[in-house]
Amino acid sequence: MNITCPAVLISAISSGQGKTLSTAALARAWKNRGLNVRAFKCGPDFLDPMVLETATGQPVYNLDLGMCGEQDGLSRLYNAALEADVIIVEGVMGLYDGTPSSADIAVHYGLPVILTIDASGMAQTFGAVASGLLAYKPELKPAGVLANKVGSTGHARMLRESLPEHLSWFGALHRVESFALPERHLGLFRANEIDDLEARVEAAAIALASSGELPLPPLVTFNQPVVSATPALLAGKTIAIARDEAFCFIYQANLDSLIAMGATLCFFSPIHDNALPKADAYWLPGGYPELHLEQIRNNSAMRAALQNAFHANKPILAECGGMMALSESINGTPTFGLLTGSCQIEARFQGLGTQHVTLPDGAMSAHTFHYGLFNTPLAVAFQGSTSRNGQGEAIYQHGSITASFLHFYFPSNLSATARLFSA
């Protein structure tokens, strides 16, 4: 049975236009009207979904044709539409940037598009830019425009009047510093690092709603996906997952996959806890270990606990920051020391983009986004490949540890995922 639901994708002319704030504000404005709002994020981003979770109060999933795949996105959109009053999707970069782009995703799933435009220093050209950008790809469905960094009520009126009749007005956010979301080298701050994030999102939503009636986007029909039974490959196993300020890059879809395969999940903090929870396997995801080096160095009890788990042959998956923390040092500061080699944070990107790797149980998709280097004598067990068939990230296997700069997308291969957490 197919289902319809109002849905829209929020994009922009480029990065830095305020997509995350605009998406969060619009989602919260609809939520404040009593609507059930479900949000998604284009691309393999970890940080923007945290903000959108604050705005909607619900888990946020990724849509990415490269890493997640077409059917994965279809299934998640369909399931959201079963319960949602409106679906909102935040794009990535500019509307046509990347392969696949936000425009590709919008066309693929039939999502109409709202443009967020930084309108500072702009008047009637606002309408021309919006009209031209949305008409560039004829199969794209235009929905309307949201103005960001508006100077005054009069400025907002001028912008709104510049729009052609077929583009709806989805409000304006004024140029207010208190709306801005702080950033660092890997993107936005984590949601729980921004003490007043709830207040910022709420204030932006109220401002947006007061700038004009916010219509719901057009109805979109989502086709019912083909559903297959999930094998109980992790039945009876407990997986302990690192989750704190330093280890926080976790796809909700990955947690769902582990649970669907029968695993029981528990969580721990490598920087605050002195012991590991009792578990059959451990997962240290990516994050910001480089910002918490003193806590890592001084937590000798956790270092001993991790080494005991390793010597007990407990499977350990260490992704990106997790791998760096298990190395001997980061920027010269001693870390947990389970992997021979040292890490260094560089000034420039060392890895970025979707990759695929062939493991004993088949191909698995992943993403890489890091400034770190890992200098190690460890042998490469598997090698990722990029979308253009270039050489990707190394995957190391050292005893019971599987480590890489890659962030794996578990739903892409459940059998391979289960093997990562099996002795």
> Hey, which residues are catalytic here?
320
β-pair partners for 344 = 373
Q: Can you read off the two tokens belonging to residue 362?
A: 């088949």
Cβ contacts of 240 within 8 Å, gap of 6 or more: 265, 266, 267, 268, 276, 277, 279, 281, 282, 283
Q: Can you read off the two tokens belonging to residue 74?
A: 């279809």
Amino acid type, 23: T
What's the CA angle centered on 406, arms 303 and 106, to 5 degrees?
135
- What is the C-alpha to C-alpha distance for residues 252 and 56, in angstroms, rounded to an integer? 15
- What is the C-alpha to C-alpha distance for residues 214 and 211, in angstroms, rounded to an integer? 9
Q: What is the DSSP string of 213-273?
A: --PPPPEEEEPPPP--PPP-TTTT-EEEEE-SSSEEE--HHHHHHHHHTT-EEEEE-TTT-
- What is the C-alpha to C-alpha distance for residues 234 and 414, in angstroms, rounded to an integer? 10
Place of tokens 């920087």: 271
Q: Report helix angle 19-31 to 197-210, nearest 10.
A: 80
